[in-house]
């Protein structure tokens, strides 16, 4: 019942479901030669945790068919794993205790991607707005308690100063009614600006109240985290209508994101993007309005020298997705409605989608991995390294052309983490990143030093930006063909298209291993089934503790990923698709998939 649903569930040789032993944190990256006197050096590691769904009304021993609130049943002390019940406070409290004891001094910042209130799934006990805010305030105080500076705790009258940045974002269940988020400023942005006051930089407070989004520099002057308000992109938010019309908050949000990325590029900084609802787009599921997905994918492509990676939650299943810039049609306003059947159907549709990726020639990835410098990737070098004839050289070059060159720059990647709420097993993730050249650099302990005001940058940006280019290279090959046939009908986009990286710029950290490149991650989970059996047998005492253990790492024998660059994910997607094609009839190891399908699924 582990959480590796897509990543391992779609491998034919999926990892065993047997419990794993405790392991130390992977990827030791303690930098050598740090300048003396630095209190918080960059360690090259951060935490991603999502979908807590704390529930004060949860009662152990109640019925899992009644939200674990009523009746008699098998709701466990730390949660009802494999069900739709939310998280008891015992699970939340023990998770924070484990984080404090095991991660507090090991990470540089925290990405907290929303859904920090219970679901509205009990007609007898409906949620209230005050309850939603109270639960978010409860979790906020937990973070403050762990990561406030020594001597300044949550019980102190002094305003606590955070020792590391914690970056939150809105989930679709952090508002009421769930999914519905009106244009800001609104009561939610105003109230959460107070609840998350310790996490939002002072110079970003106004921006947050206006739209629920903000930027925080987690390594000052080097790396920023951009907290997106994906509620304005979410296809289920009937209060808004996509990102096409200037009157829509989604349009404003995309413009703000464009400006932020342009500013970061001008400052030679890099960015991590985070949000709640991921940009899932397959034949079985579509999370975002199509106009928002189009702009987002275009932005990721044009700012591929800036963006390190993007992180999301919401779906409760562990997987990733590739955004294909060849699917961008800057004239697109299509709704693209997609019916959704089940998570299993969605995962299968992703594998089918990956089966249409350009097919790599034999040995191409190994050859690319062996090359270390940009010059190695010229056609001449490829030809020199392959002595079996020009035909194979052309095949390799054709493949590289299809994927956007040796770095696979045609694509971008979004990572979706499994949830803390035990729909399966409670999970959290620790990501490691490259800290080359960061010796002596401290992380962003001073979130509240005013930066240059965003409004100034936005006015300057609008003044100097040229109109959107009509470069057909931004369009998919299919659209380019149509344009050639209808030259008289060519339209310019109704929005500013960002400039691409300089032609002389090296590939960004999402593509080539350098400072801030994601190196890998360690996925942790807590085996509640085993734990509850021990509690029932009296082996855990009166005050049982919860532990997290390693589920997998991305550099293990199954994943075999040397880093988390886009090319590595392209290679993994190709392997998953190939394994699926070879064993189409094999029953893949997706624990409890059949049982979950039988249950009436609530809206996420």
pLDDT digits (tens, 9 = 90+) for 158-213: 667 899 999 999 999 999 999 999 999 999 999 999 999 999 999 999 999 999 99
Q: Within 10 Å of residue 390's Cβ, how many Cβ atoms?
A: 9
For 498-554, write each residue's pLDDT tens digit.
999 998 889 999 999 999 999 999 999 999 999 999 999 999 888 999 999 999 999
Identify the pLDDT of residue 561.
96
- Among 401, 417, 448, the domain-final residue is 401
* Pair type for strands 427-433 and 45-49: antiparallel
Mean pLDDT of 44-73: 98
Could you tell me how far CA 323 lies from the centroid of its own chain?
13
Q: How many structural domains does the chain have? A: 2
Give the C-alpha distances (Å, rounded to integers) separating 60 from 67, 511, 541: 11, 47, 16
In a domain, 23, yes or no: no
Q: Is the pLDDT of residue 283 over 90?
A: no
In a domain, 460, yes or no: yes
Identify the pLDDT of residue 480.
53
Same domain (yes/no): 440, 385? no
pLDDT confidence band for 582 (50 / 70 / 90): low
Same domain (yes/no): 348, 473? yes
Instruction: Kindly compute the dihedral angle of the four CA atoms of residues 358, 507, 413, 115, in this order, to the nearest 10 degrees.
Output: 180
For 139-158, write each residue's pLDDT tens digit.
999 999 999 886 455 455 56
Q: What is the average pLDDT score of the chain?
A: 81
- Among 401, 422, 452, the domain-final residue is 401
d(CA 538, CA 227): 44
For 314-356, write each residue's pLDDT tens digit.
999 999 999 999 999 866 544 444 444 456 676 677 667 767 7
Residue pair 329/301 in contact by the 8 Å Cβ criterion: no
* Verdict on whether the full-model pTM lies above 0.75: yes
d(CA 406, CA 383): 14
In a domain, 5, yes or no: no
Same domain (yes/no): 381, 435? no
d(CA 306, CA 321): 19
pLDDT confidence band for 426 (50 / 70 / 90): very high
The larger pLDDT score, comparing residue 410 to residue 37, is at 410
Determine which helix (DSSP H) or strand (DSSP E) holds 532, and give its type and residue range: helix 528-536
Residue 137 burial (10 A CB sphere; 0-12, 13-18, 19+): middle
Give the tokens for residue 342: 């089940």
Give the C-alpha distances (Å, rounded to integers) separating 237 from 44, 179, 233, 518: 36, 5, 8, 32
Same domain (yes/no): 256, 328? yes
In a domain, 416, yes or no: yes
Give the C-alpha distances (Å, rounded to integers) separating 492 from 347, 464, 472: 36, 19, 10
Sign of the dihedral through C-alpha 200, 201, 206, 207: negative
Identify the pLDDT of residue 260.
98
Residue pair 306/265 in contact by the 8 Å Cβ criterion: yes
Same domain (yes/no): 334, 387? no
Same domain (yes/no): 382, 425? no
Identify the pLDDT of residue 18.
32
Identify the pLDDT of residue 324.
94
In a domain, 367, yes or no: no
Give the tokens for residue 418: 């499994």
Identify the pLDDT of residue 375.
53
Spatial CB neighbours of 447, under 8 Å, sequence gap ≥ 6: 162, 165, 199, 200, 201, 216, 217
Same domain (yes/no): 414, 391? no
Identify the pLDDT of residue 41.
87
In a domain, 36, yes or no: no
Identify the pLDDT of residue 573.
92
Determine the structural domain holding residue 387 and report its residue range. 372-401
Same domain (yes/no): 52, 115? yes
Q: Is the pLDDT of residue 33 over 80?
A: no
Q: Is the pLDDT of residue 267 over 70?
A: yes
For 303-315, write each residue's pLDDT tens digit.
999 999 999 999 9
- Region of residue 306 (left: phi > 0; alpha: psi -120 to 50; beta: else): alpha
Same domain (yes/no): 386, 490? no
Same domain (yes/no): 189, 277? yes
Of how many residues is the chain composed?
604
Identify the pLDDT of residue 368.
80
Determine which helix (DSSP H) or strand (DSSP E) holds 393, and give its type and residue range: helix 390-403
In a domain, 480, yes or no: yes
The larger pLDDT score, comparing residue 20 to residue 580, is at 580
Q: Is 520 helix (H, G, I), strand (E, B) or coil?
A: strand
Nearest residue to 270 via CA among 568, 40, 499, 501: 501
The larger pLDDT score, comparing residue 459 to residue 432, is at 432
Same domain (yes/no): 476, 572? yes
* 6-24 residues labelled b (16+ CB within 10 A) or e (exposed): bbbbbbeebbeeeebeeee
Same domain (yes/no): 315, 385? no
pLDDT confidence band for 361 (50 / 70 / 90): confident
Q: Is the pLDDT of residue 290 over 90?
A: yes
Identify the pLDDT of residue 580.
60
In a domain, 439, yes or no: yes
**CATH code of 294's domain:** 3.60.21.10
Q: Dihedrals φ, ψ of 369, to 5°?
A: -65, -30
Residue pair 533/296 in contact by the 8 Å Cβ criterion: no
Identify the pLDDT of residue 350.
66
């Amino acid at each position: 019942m582990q959480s590796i649903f897509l990543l391992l569930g779609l491998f034919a040789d999926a990892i065993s479901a047997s419990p794993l032993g405790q392991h130390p944190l992977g990827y030791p990256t303690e930098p050598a030669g740090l300048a003396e006197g630095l209190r918080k050096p960059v360690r090259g590691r951060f935490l991603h945790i999502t979908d807590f769904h704390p529930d004060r009304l949860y009662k152990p021993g109640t019925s899992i068919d009644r939200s674990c609130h009523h009746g008699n049943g098998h709701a466990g002390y730390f949660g009802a794993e494999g069900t739709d019940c939310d998280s008891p406070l015992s699970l939340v409290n023990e998770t924070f205790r484990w984080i404090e004891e095991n991660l507090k001094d090991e990470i540089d910042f925290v990405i907290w991607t929303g859904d920090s209130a219970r679901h509205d799934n009990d007609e007898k006990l409906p949620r209230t707005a005050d309850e939603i805010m109270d639960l978010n305030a409860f979790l906020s105080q937990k973070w403050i308690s762990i990561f406030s500076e020594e001597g300044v705790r949550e019980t102190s009258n002094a305003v606590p100063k955070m020792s590391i940045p914690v970056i939150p974002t809105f989930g679709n269940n952090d508002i009421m009614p769930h999914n519905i988020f009106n244009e800001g400023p609104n009561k939610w942005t105003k109230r959460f600006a107070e609840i998350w006051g310790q996490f939002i930089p002072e110079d970003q407070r106004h921006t947050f109240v206006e739209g629920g989004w903000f930027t925080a520099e987690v390594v000052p002057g080097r790396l920023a985290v951009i907290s997106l308000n994906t509620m304005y992109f979410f296809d289920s938010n009937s209060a808004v209508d996509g990102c096409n019309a200037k009157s829509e908050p989604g349009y404003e949000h995309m413009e703000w994101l464009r400006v932020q990325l342009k500013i970061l590029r001008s400052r030679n900084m890099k960015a991590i993007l985070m949000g709640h609802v991921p940009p899932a787009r397959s034949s079985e599921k579509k999370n975002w309005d199509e106009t928002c997905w189009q702009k987002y994918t275009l932005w990721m492509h044009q700012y591929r020298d800036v963006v390190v990676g993007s992180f999301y939650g919401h779906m409760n299943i562990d997987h990733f997705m590739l955004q294909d810039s060849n699917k961008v049609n800057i004239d697109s306003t299509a709704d693209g409605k997609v019916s959704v059947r089940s998570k299993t159907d969605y995962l299968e549709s992703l594998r089918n989608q990956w089966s249409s990726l350009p097919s790599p020639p034999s040995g191409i990835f190994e050859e690319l991995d062996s090359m270390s410098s940009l010059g190695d990737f010229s056609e001449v070098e490829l030809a020199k390294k392959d002595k079996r004839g020009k035909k194979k050289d052309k095949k390799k070059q054709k493949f590289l052309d299809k994927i956007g060159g040796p770095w696979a720059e045609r694509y971008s990647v979004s990572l979706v983490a499994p949830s803390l709420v035990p729909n399966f097993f409670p999970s959290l993730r620790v990501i490691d990143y490259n800290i080359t050249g960061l010796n002596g650099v401290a992380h962003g302990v001073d979130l509240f030093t005013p930066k240059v005001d965003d409004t100034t940058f936005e006015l300057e940006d609008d003044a100097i930006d040229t109109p959107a280019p009509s470069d057909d290279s931004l369009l998919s090959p299919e659209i380019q063909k149509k344009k050639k046939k209808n030259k008289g009908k060519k339209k310019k986009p109704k929005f500013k298209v960002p400039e691409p990286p300089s032609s002389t710029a090296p590939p960004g950290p999402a593509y080539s291993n350098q400072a801030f490149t994601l190196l890998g991650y360690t996925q942790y989970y807590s085996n509640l089934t085993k734990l509850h059996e021990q509690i029932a047998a009296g082996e855990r005492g009166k005050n049982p503790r919860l532990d997290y253990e390693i589920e997998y790492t991305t550099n293990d024998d199954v994943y075999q990923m040397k880093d988390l660059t886009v090319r590595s994910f392209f290679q993994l997607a190709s392997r998953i698709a190939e394994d699926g094609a070879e064993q189409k009839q094999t029953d893949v190891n997706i624990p409890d998939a059949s049982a979950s399908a039988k249950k009436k699924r609530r809206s996420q």
